[in-house]
Structure 1
Amino acid sequence: MEFVKRLQESIEKHSDHNVLCINGTFYTYKHFAVEISKIRSAIVDTIEDSEKLIGLVTNDDLQTYASIVALWLEGKAYVPVNPEVPFERNAKVFELTETKYVIDSSESSVYDDYQVIPSKELSNTEINLVPKEFSGDQLAYILFTSGTTGLPKGVPITFDNVQALVGAIDAEPTFNLEPSDRCLQMFELTFDFSVVTYLFPLLSGSCMYTIPKVAIKYFYIFKLINEEKLTVLTMVPSIINYLRPYFGEINAPDIRYCSFGGGALHSDIAKEWSDCLPNCKIFNYYGPTEFTVYSGFYPYHKETHTKAHNGIIAIGTPQKDTLYLVVNESNEEVGIGETGELCLGGPQITPGYWKNEERNAQSFFVREENGKSIRYYKTGDLCLKDDEGDFLYVGRADFQVKIRGYRVELAEIEFHAKSRSDKKVNMVALDITNSLGNAELGLAIESEEFDTEYIFDHMKNVMPSYMIPMHIRFIKEFPHSINGKIDRKELKKHFDIH
């Protein structure tokens, strides 16, 4: 597998470079190679070759990152679980994957019912980074996201999927990491964005800077930008909402690349953020977990590339070997400028949800194109393609609600509310069920209370009455998921309209 071989070569070549900065402590690629080899030796001694899915407790330490590479060198997949998540949920993940072995760098492991490899207590061994021979259709990892039935939903990704991602990013001439780069790694390893924020620095001999689990994320990032002079940032857009009060203090000429994903990037804050990074290329990436992190991007520039819909920056064009298809409810392609659901095809597509045939039947379909059968994934994202071939994000299909029989896009309400507000604050439109079981609209505002009459006057001028929120709540700080996305489900609990 080419990218695994490249990992070996990069680790060997950059042995005197720093690979990780964890809570102020630096580790070199030589340290990394030693830990990989110790863990790999324990894997070989402990785990049968037939066991391919290995649990990994995602602590913020050298051994956890080394475990991923050690497993890959052996052609095995990691099944990550966050130690801060309830044990019962993590045990359910291991039950679903029939995991018997867990690699755990914790001081004491809670996984007594599994065979644990305590990765911080292993004896030294010879450095061995030569990958085994294995097939690309074997799994590289399985990530579990929340499922609608209350059971976590597994997304398996193969080595071939990851190789296709690496090939697509390599083919992009505007993005090229260097060994001297200092890269932000802000993501929990159970979140798919972490794959690009550890894999590409490792392939390039760059250094990653992680966020301690106890730290306030946005404040620690501010500190790293100022003190460590980071050069590459990969973030969810919500982080810069929290950094906004500090924009006046941020002048970061060292930053070369800043990539966003995992949420809608709004044009107003993108422009302000761009002013803080005078020498930076900004990319708005798009892609779901089911398509191996990234599927395409838009090269945002505050003067030359500012395409947006409802104030949300475009998602641009698909990357190498990826196909975008916008369809109606019958999976038929819609015309230019028409809104439909975005579907993705190509070599990065997951083999399918883990042991979930019902969900697979809903989320994937095959379409004949030019004599070939192309398998597509239905993203649940509403998009449209413009005359120039760029794709514009309209909103989530599940954020499109029926109010009094009318179809309403929540992102449009948010856009008009923000466009007139003189306060730079988060606003989220929500559909709320009243005591009669009917859907009504609410607007959550992340702020101390202020007069919103002029905002609602504007909305009444530009939108029909059924799109005007009937309920408003001021919330000091929005709840977020562990991945940094606004937790709409929790927000709804602030609206008691029974």
Structure 2
Amino acid sequence: MNLLLDIQEAIEKNDTQNAFYFGDTFYTYKEFAQVISNIRKGIQDHISENDSTVGLITNDDIETYASIIALWLEGKAYVPLNPEFPESRNHTVIKQAEINSILDSSTDKVFDQFKTIQSNTLDIAEINLTPRQIGPNELAYIFFTSGTTGTPKGVPITFGNLSGFIDAFWDLGYEITNKDRCLQMFELTFDLSVMSYLGPILKGACIYTIPKDEIKYSYIFELMEDHELTFALMVPSILHYLRPYFDEINCPAMKFSLFCGEALPLDVTQEWSQCIPNATIANVYGPTECTIFCTDYTYKRDSENKTYNGVLTIGKDMKNTTTIIVDEDNNEVGIGEKGELCLSGAQLTPGYWKNEEKNKEVFFDKEHEGKKVRFYRTGDLCTVDDQGDILYLGRVDFQAKIQGFRVELSEIEFHAKAVLDKKNSVAVAFINSIHNTEIGLVIESTAFDTKQLIEDLKNRLPQYMIPTQIRFIDSFPLNTNGKTDRKKLKEMFN
């Protein structure tokens, strides 16, 4: 597998360079190689060769990142488990992914009831970064995203998918070298983290992470100023938090500033461009199902940028992706017409993990340019202009992006209804005063104290899925189709 050989070569070639910065400590690639090798020996000694998926506790330390590489060298997929997520949700993921073993760098094991290898207590091993023979269809990771039935759905990504992404990314011309200092701001359960560590590792660059006890946006500001970061992939909501401090931010060292995971407003981008005067700014797009991101648009500093309702275009498909926009019957729509964005190509997942019902719903075959091609429905409403640039118009369904995480509003409703003893509730996504997306919950009931409801939801859902505001209504309004009028409910939060 060329990708794994490239990882091996990059680590060995840059052994004296800094690889990671955690808190206030640097680790070199030589130290990284040693920790990878220690964990790899632990995997060989304690995990069956037949176990293709291994749980990974998502701590912010050298052992956690080394565990990813060690698992890959052994041809195993990692399944990230955030110890701060509800235990019941993590147990569901462990069961679904058929995990028998967990790698954990915590001082105290997170899961006593599962076989755990404590990666920070392993013996020193001989350095060994030579990968096993691994085919492109072997899995690199499985990320679990929000599911409509209240159960998270698994998105497996193969080494072939990952190789397709890396090939397409380098093709865009983003030059990273072993002199670069790169931000990794993402929780490891979020697939943008993969780009944020893998791209730099392949070039021998240094990766700067965010400690879990720090305020994310202010720590990013500090890193950019104190360490002169040169590459950053961020979610746009970070800009909304930083916006009050734009006058103080001056980072001429920044070379590339990429945004993904949410709509990127033009006005904030224009202001941000003054803070990073020498950087290329890009808006990239892609669902987890198409490996990190698959379209790209470079912001133009000196000429007009393409927007829809003030949101930057997501640009054109990258090298290994084909995009089409279709109507409800899967027929391609004309230029300027609205439809659902669909994706295909080398980056596309083989399909949801053991979920044929969902696969039939979102994947379909279609004749395209004389060939039968498998496409994925993104659920994103888009249009394309006569130059091939895609404009994002909104969601076809009721998903939302919260802090970059994709959230099925129906999952929140599912759990709220269970907690509320079948009372009707509707979750809506709304934009707050600083232009970030929040979740509101409307309950069909007279008003009551919601403290217990919030506590119960916190035991079932990650923090980013907990409603921040709650409203009450005697009965839900209906639209002309007799369906609940979500637009009217959303207005309750304006």
TM category (shorter chain) comes to: 0.7 to 0.9
Distance 1:442 1:376, change over 3 A: closer
Q: List alignment gaps of at least 5 residues for structure 1.
A: 401-409, 412-429, 448-480
Distance 1:330 1:220, change over 3 A: same
Local SS of the residue matching 1:398 = coil
Q: Within 5 Å, which residues of 2 pair with 1:148-187?
A: 148-173=148-173, 175-187=174-186
Provide the C-alpha distance between the structure 2 equivalents of 1:442 and 1:258, rounded to a whole number of angstroms: 27
Q: Which residue of 2 aligns with 1:67?
A: 67
| 8 A Cα contact 2:200 2:207, kept in partner | yes
Q: Which residue of 1 aligns with 2:216?
A: 217
CA deviation after TM superposition for structure 1 residue 445, in Å: 3.4
Q: Which residue of 1 aligns with 2:450?
A: none
Q: Greater shift after overlay, 363-372 or 269-278?
A: 363-372
How many residues align structurally?
430
Matched, 1:495 2:471: yes
Letter in 2 for 1:85: F
Q: Which residue of 2 aligns with 1:445?
A: 432
Provide the C-alpha distance between the structure 2 equivalents of 1:140 and 1:437, rounded to a whole number of angstroms: 40
The structure with higher relative contact order (CA 8 Å, sep 6+) is 2
Local SS of the residue matching 1:245 = helix
CA deviation after TM superposition for structure 1 residue 371, in Å: 3.6
Provide the C-alpha distance between the structure 2 equivalents of 1:68 and 1:442, rounded to a whole number of angstroms: 34
Letter in 2 for 1:255: M
CA deviation after TM superposition for structure 1 residue 331, in Å: 1.1
Calculate the aligned-residue CA RMSD, in Å: 2.4
| 8 A Cα contact 2:85 2:463, kept in partner | no
| 8 A Cα contact 1:18 1:207, kept in partner | yes
TM value normalised by structure 2? 0.83
TM value normalised by structure 1? 0.83
Distance 1:329 1:40, change over 3 A: same
CA deviation after TM superposition for structure 1 residue 360, in Å: 0.7
Provide the C-alpha distance between the structure 2 equivalents of 1:123 and 1:445, rounded to a whole number of angstroms: 51
Distance 1:486 1:377, change over 3 A: farther
Provide the C-alpha distance between the structure 2 equivalents of 1:486 and 1:324, rounded to a whole number of angstroms: 33
1:242-299 alpha-carbon deviations (Å, 9 max, x no partner): 0001000011100000000000000110100011110000010000000001111100
Letter in 2 for 1:310: N
Distance 1:224 1:209, change over 3 A: same
Provide the C-alpha distance between the structure 2 equivalents of 1:122 and 1:438, rounded to a whole number of angstroms: 49
Provide the C-alpha distance between the structure 2 equivalents of 1:264 and 1:104, rounded to a whole number of angstroms: 35
Provide the C-alpha distance between the structure 2 equivalents of 1:223 and 1:339, rounded to a whole number of angstroms: 42
CA deviation after TM superposition for structure 1 residue 321, in Å: 2.1
Provide the C-alpha distance between the structure 1 equivalents of 2:304 and 2:346, rounded to a whole number of angstroms: 28
Provide the C-alpha distance between the structure 1 equivalents of 2:70 and 2:428, rounded to a whole number of angstroms: 50
Q: Which residue of 1 aligns with 2:241?
A: 242
Q: Which residue of 2 aligns with 1:132?
A: 132
| 8 A Cα contact 1:299 1:305, kept in partner | no
Provide the C-alpha distance between the structure 1 equivalents of 2:83 and 2:26, rounded to a whole number of angstroms: 23
| 8 A Cα contact 1:68 1:78, kept in partner | yes
1:127-182 alpha-carbon deviations (Å, 9 max, x no partner): 00000002110100000011111111100000100010011112222x11110110
Distance 1:441 1:132, change over 3 A: closer
Q: Within 5 Å, which residues of 2 pair with 1:58-207?
A: 58-173=58-173, 175-207=174-206
Provide the C-alpha distance between the structure 1 equivalents of 2:130 and 2:154, rounded to a whole number of angstroms: 30
CA deviation after TM superposition for structure 1 residue 125, in Å: 1.0
Provide the C-alpha distance between the structure 1 equivalents of 2:430 and 2:256, rounded to a whole number of angstroms: 34
Local SS of the residue matching 1:366 = strand
Provide the C-alpha distance between the structure 2 equivalents of 1:119 and 1:382, rounded to a whole number of angstroms: 44
Provide the C-alpha distance between the structure 2 equivalents of 1:271 and 1:337, rounded to a whole number of angstroms: 26
Local SS of the residue matching 2:394 = strand
Question: Where in structure 1 do 4 or more consecutive aligned residues deviate above 3 Å?
Answer: 436-445, 485-489
Provide the C-alpha distance between the structure 2 equivalents of 1:62 and 1:322, rounded to a whole number of angstroms: 33
1:85-135 alpha-carbon deviations (Å, 9 max, x no partner): 122211111100111010000101132222211100001011000000021
| 8 A Cα contact 2:83 2:110, kept in partner | no
1:174-218 alpha-carbon deviations (Å, 9 max, x no partner): x11110110000001110100100000000000011001011000
Q: Which residue of 2 aligns with 1:269?
A: 268
| 8 A Cα contact 1:316 1:391, kept in partner | yes
Distance 1:215 1:81, change over 3 A: same
| Identity of matched residues, % | 50
Local SS of the residue matching 1:490 = coil
